[in-house]
Amino acid sequence: MKNVFINRCIAFEEYFRLILSIFIFILDIGFISATYYQYKGVNISKNNIKKEKKSISKIVFNLVLILLISYIESVAFSSHINGMFNTSFSFYTTAIAHRAGAEMAPENTLAAIEEASNAKADYAEIDVQETKDGELIVLHDSNFKRTTGVDKNVWDVNYNEVKTYDAGSFYYYGKGYYDEKFVGEKIPTLKEMIKYSKGKVKLLIEIKLNGHEKGDVVKKVVQLIKENNFENQCIVASMDKTILQK
């Protein structure tokens, strides 16, 4: 919320600078026009135009004003341009590795976390579900087939069986071809993922409920985060608003 507020304040400041620079530019044009007519000895009023003696002092005064206004206008405009293109000032960009880094390694695995860390990602997004026996594992789909070749649902399998699955031999997502170095990569538990990520990359933990949960998954996730002193290194997310309201 704090970052959102800061971003909005900065955006307002940038718009204000742009409007100010436009206003000063118009004012500058007015002074230049007035100085030109004074130099020509022409007095322009609402009703008539008449010749009069040139006033050197007025011309000099107007020239000084023009220079001063031009300087202010250039500062305001350049500040606006710098604000637009200096991303470190105007925007807070966060790099998040999808499914822990699925473009570079098997999704939602420790290998993917390693790749996300090497790529200097700010966060690695992971998906959390509960197995039949209540273990929290890191898995996106409700079925293991796409990532391991095993056609079983997550709520039908105990964790002891999940540990035998190979999540590396079916990796084609990022490179488009099989990579031997990932053979044997396991599906990690949330606890393993948190411990491995410490000091490497922050986690964006998405809780995925499938309707077959045996316990309070949200409570278990929060408990794991607290037990590992990971509160300041993660964000908990979900597509279900009721989960985030707990």
Cα 127 to Cα 3, 137, 190, distances in angstroms: 25, 8, 9
Please list, in sequence order, all residues whose beta carbon lies within 8 angstroms of the beta carbon of residue 203, skipping any fewer than 6 positions away: 123, 124, 125, 126, 193, 194, 197, 230, 233, 234, 235
DSSP H/E element including 236: strand 234-237
192: which 2 tokens?
């393993």
Give the active site residue among 140, 186, 202, 220.
140
Helix (H, G, I), strand (E, B) or coil at 182: helix
pLDDT reported for residue 135: 96
Q: Is residue 212 part of a domain?
A: yes
Same domain, 13 and 100: no
Same domain, 237 and 221: yes
109: which 2 tokens?
């695995």
Same domain, 27 and 61: no
Same domain, 148 and 225: yes
How many of the other CB atoms lie within 10 Å of CB of 10?
A: 15
Q: Is residue 48 part of a domain?
A: no
Q: Is residue 62 part of a domain?
A: yes
Give the active site residue among 14, 24, 62, 98.
98
Helix (H, G, I), strand (E, B) or coil at 150: coil
Per residue of the chain (246 residues), give pLDDT as tens. 334 333 444 455 566 666 766 776 776 676 676 666 666 665 655 555 455 555 667 667 666 766 776 666 666 555 544 544 444 444 568 899 999 988 889 999 999 999 999 999 999 999 999 999 999 999 999 999 999 999 999 999 999 999 999 999 876 655 545 678 888 999 999 999 999 999 999 999 999 988 888 889 999 999 999 999 999 999 999 988 777 776
Number of domains comprising the chain: 3
227: which 2 tokens?
């037990």
Please check whether residue 117 is in contact with residue 200, taking contact to mean a CB–CB distance below 8 angstroms: yes
Same domain, 125 and 38: no
Q: What is the spatial distance between Cα 148 and Cα 25, in angstroms, rounded to a whole number?
A: 65
Question: Tell me, what CATH number does 112's domain have?
Answer: 3.20.20.190
Same domain, 122 and 193: yes
Q: Is 243 exposed, middle or buried (0-12, 13-18, 19+ CB in 10 A)?
A: middle
Same domain, 78 and 11: no
Same domain, 132 and 180: yes
Q: What is the spatial distance between Cα 33 and Cα 200, in angstroms, rounded to a whole number?
A: 63
Cα 189 to Cα 37, 49, 97, 194, distances in angstroms: 80, 86, 18, 9
Q: What is the spatial distance between Cα 169 and Cα 187, in angstroms, rounded to a whole number?
A: 12
* Domain extent at residue 76: 53-90
Q: Is 140 a catalytic residue?
A: yes
Q: What is the spatial distance between Cα 192 and Cα 151, in angstroms, rounded to a whole number?
A: 24
Same domain, 193 and 125: yes
pLDDT reported for residue 70: 67
Same domain, 37 and 60: no
Same domain, 83 and 161: no
Q: Is residue 179 part of a domain?
A: yes
pLDDT reported for residue 194: 97
Q: Is 212 a catalytic residue?
A: no
Q: Is residue 61 part of a domain?
A: yes
Q: Is residue 160 part of a domain?
A: yes
Same domain, 68 and 137: no
Please check whether residue 155 is in contact with residue 210, taking contact to mean a CB–CB distance below 8 angstroms: yes
DSSP-derived secondary structure for 193-212:
HHHHHTTT-EEEEEE---S-
